[in-house]
Chain A
């Protein structure tokens, strides 16, 4: 068994334990793929949002006549104290994402909407496998697409010595190409969300353990603060921001890694998702802070950077009976960085009429996420279309790279 670290790293205070849910790994070699034309030394960051991000709550099709009705009480609006930020005449961004909005205005950020992997079921694990493995179906977990992309690159020099190989590299970066890992020290992994799910289970099955756990977690105190029990979101923000800050510092070094992957957990908003404020809003502000950390931390390298943010699938277009959303299909992906040809929402909008929804419940996917990823890998890192269609995203020749994503 892999059990426990020593006391020093397993902080006994709950405070220390709340910061979990973020991990990072990077490629172990400095690539030799500076682009001949402009000498760019590209940096690529992939962020996986585990739990299935509600795309419609994040980038609302605010002018779609069916949007407000479907998202009901949690729908974003163009007015009020927490008005959504217009991206164009049709789409508006969640008000928590002010940094991303600024990058968008500066044309260094873009949104891809109604996007999905080829996975069409609704299991988190399988969905994440498809997202990260790059295969068309679940069950292939030996390596991730980003790792195979690296395998196709010339190796270059080994990055900074003394980095230990991380045990928790996200699948997307796992595989034969060697990687290094880093996790913020003293950030053990028991996430609040896990505790809340366990508490729910104990409430139904084992009241004595529910009592013990709730006292242990001091849930009462949290509840007394008035917030929804599932969310103590400030800590999640801290984890995202802290991880991003650390990764940005690493990547800013001359001999630091150029290609990295992170995973942020906590997007599974089944109940009390919140609208302009609330649970999801808090997490989005954490993600937004991570964008900001990358921009400031990478400094001059920001202009050579592309950050891709993707999630395993979306959520239902219509909210459920607990003011949340259940597992769905189409969602959003983000591109950010100085090398992104931004300031636009890339979408072939399917509409939200019941007939237009996937299985009459989810935002229908009209863009294959692999087309976006292939476009970035092709234009930013210089992988050939053939390698992308065979090694990186096997059997994806029919999915053409989207062109012009990168400056």
Chain B
């Protein structure tokens, strides 16, 4: 079969997470059959689910979180009690206890690989121990590690790219609070992954019923004014979830729905919540329909009438929204923009739109339509990798299976894409304007140099250039790397080359 180096780059970088180093043969495989290379992974649906030892379900994590919060509370109370007791018994003129020796802030680099400057050298015992992580931090890191490892090891990475796309589309933010942080990974595993090669309507339902989303967009606080709970209390509707469903998750802003529709959907979704610590409504941390908070009655949404059927009312409404033409257009455009270009080829958007509608939102069919299109292969590689794609691609090229997520998480923080923590419910931006920005490029270079500073002499950028892009590399890039002053500089330049940054 004819080799097509440029198509190999599209297969690896536009659709995947880049070539793996070592003896993976990724570039050769992609070059000999670019479409087949991508589609092979889509044909293995098992690759989409993520299970790893220690990763827990949302209810189990809720139980762990509640236990942790209780423990903290008790400790705080005990401390307050003993402080009050000792304040009473202590003579007033007693000098305060000697201050704990302040650890040198710079005493140890995070990786422990460097020591403090000689002037500040101290015996080893003053080097502060790594702070104990709580269950929330531990969970977040374990979930991150599982995701990063999966992306690093994937053959092409198209499935993981789809996971990242849909996860960002239906994003929550770990910064919302402790439940969001501890659930962030589980949310993706439970609500996103099972449907990435399934149906949009199913994903939509799973997402909007997931405790993480209900917490993130405040729906557990939303009470139907005429519900039993609403009658008893002064609380009422919270439109947050309803609005974001229509604006961000499905129809798209400006697609014709009204404020009235938002309020109606909010009413329909009242009662969608999760069981709390006491477990009165169900297993703590599981989705429940609280009929007592649900606004009774028939609701008219987007011109369609939904009779009072409890939970089924909302599920019927979401099903119709998922099938709405505006949703197909919104998703088709966003999908093409993510993979192909900030201004995607109109013909491609039309085709994806048709596929979405004709297959009732079959997301595997949507992905295949993209991979089968000519536009996706012919469009110039103008997009820049997101920070996550960039860092994963580096790890793949170095053929290192990450064992600690810390450096990735720090890298994502520095580059402005903290994992599962976008600034708002619209997720991270997906355009060059966001990522090919001055500060960003400077920071990417700094990170490339930092990564390169730690490579040994076993990695030769000239070899890695052939692994990553082979004859798809420009002569300029090849020459820049060959002429680099040091091995480390060469590697940093490879990571920053247009061929590595663009996709």
Cβ of A344 within 8 Å of any chain B Cβ, yes or no, is: no
Name the residue on A nearest B498 (C-beta).
Answer: A206
Stretch of A88-96, A195-203, A314-322, A347-355 with 4 or more beta carbons under 8 angstroms from chain B? A195-203
Is the pair B413, A5 in contact by a Cβ cutoff of 8 Å?
Answer: no
Cβ of B1 within 8 Å of any chain A Cβ, yes or no, is: no
Is the pair A201, B460 in contact by a Cβ cutoff of 8 Å?
Answer: no
> Which bracket fits the contact residues of A?
35 or more
Cβ-neighbour of B445 out of A180, A213, A267 (below 8 A):
A213
Cβ-neighbour of A246 out of B117, B402, B440, B462 (below 8 A):
B117
| Interface residues in B, total, Cβ within 8 A | 79
Give the docked Cα–Cα distance between A32 and B497 (Å): 49
Interface string of A1-13 (1 = CB under 8 A from B): 1111111111010
Cβ-neighbour of B400 out of A1, A188, A205 (below 8 A):
A1
Cβ of A360 within 8 Å of any chain B Cβ, yes or no, is: no
Across-interface contacts of A208 in B (CB, < 8 A):
432, 436
A316 to chain B minimum Cβ distance, whole angstroms, is: 14
A-B CB pair tally, cutoff 8 Å: 223
Cβ-neighbour of A216 out of B111, B441, B449, B450 (below 8 A):
B441
Is the pair B118, A201 in contact by a Cβ cutoff of 8 Å?
Answer: no
Is the pair B486, A10 in contact by a Cβ cutoff of 8 Å?
Answer: no
Is the pair B414, A4 in contact by a Cβ cutoff of 8 Å?
Answer: yes
The dominant DSSP class at the B interface is helix
Stretch of B121-129, B156-164, B311-319 with 4 or more beta carbons under 8 angstroms from chain A? B121-129
A54 to chain B minimum Cβ distance, whole angstroms, is: 13
Give the docked Cα–Cα distance between A289 and B450 (Å): 26
Cβ of B177 within 8 Å of any chain A Cβ, yes or no, is: no
Across-interface contacts of B453 in A (CB, < 8 A):
20, 23, 168, 188-189
Is the pair A4, B410 in contact by a Cβ cutoff of 8 Å?
Answer: yes
Is the pair A10, B450 in contact by a Cβ cutoff of 8 Å?
Answer: yes
Is the pair A201, B480 in contact by a Cβ cutoff of 8 Å?
Answer: yes
Cβ of A407 within 8 Å of any chain B Cβ, yes or no, is: no
Cβ-neighbour of B113 out of A181, A215, A250 (below 8 A):
A181
Stretch of B87-95, B258-266, B322-330, B390-398 with 4 or more beta carbons under 8 angstroms from chain A? B390-398
Across-interface contacts of B490 in A (CB, < 8 A):
125
Interface string of A306-320 (1 = CB under 8 A from B): 000000000000000
Is the pair B121, A160 in contact by a Cβ cutoff of 8 Å?
Answer: yes
Is the pair A124, B112 in contact by a Cβ cutoff of 8 Å?
Answer: no
Cβ of B101 within 8 Å of any chain A Cβ, yes or no, is: no
Cβ of A167 within 8 Å of any chain B Cβ, yes or no, is: yes
Cβ of A153 within 8 Å of any chain B Cβ, yes or no, is: no
The 8 A-B pairs with the shortest beta carbon distances in the complex, nearest first, are A1-B395, A216-B442, A162-B124, A3-B407, A215-B438, A190-B449, A4-B411, A216-B438
Q: List 16 A-B contacts (CB under 8 A).
A: A1-B400, A1-B407, A14-B442, A51-B486, A125-B460, A164-B108, A164-B115, A180-B115, A183-B114, A190-B449, A191-B489, A193-B489, A201-B477, A205-B497, A209-B436, A216-B443
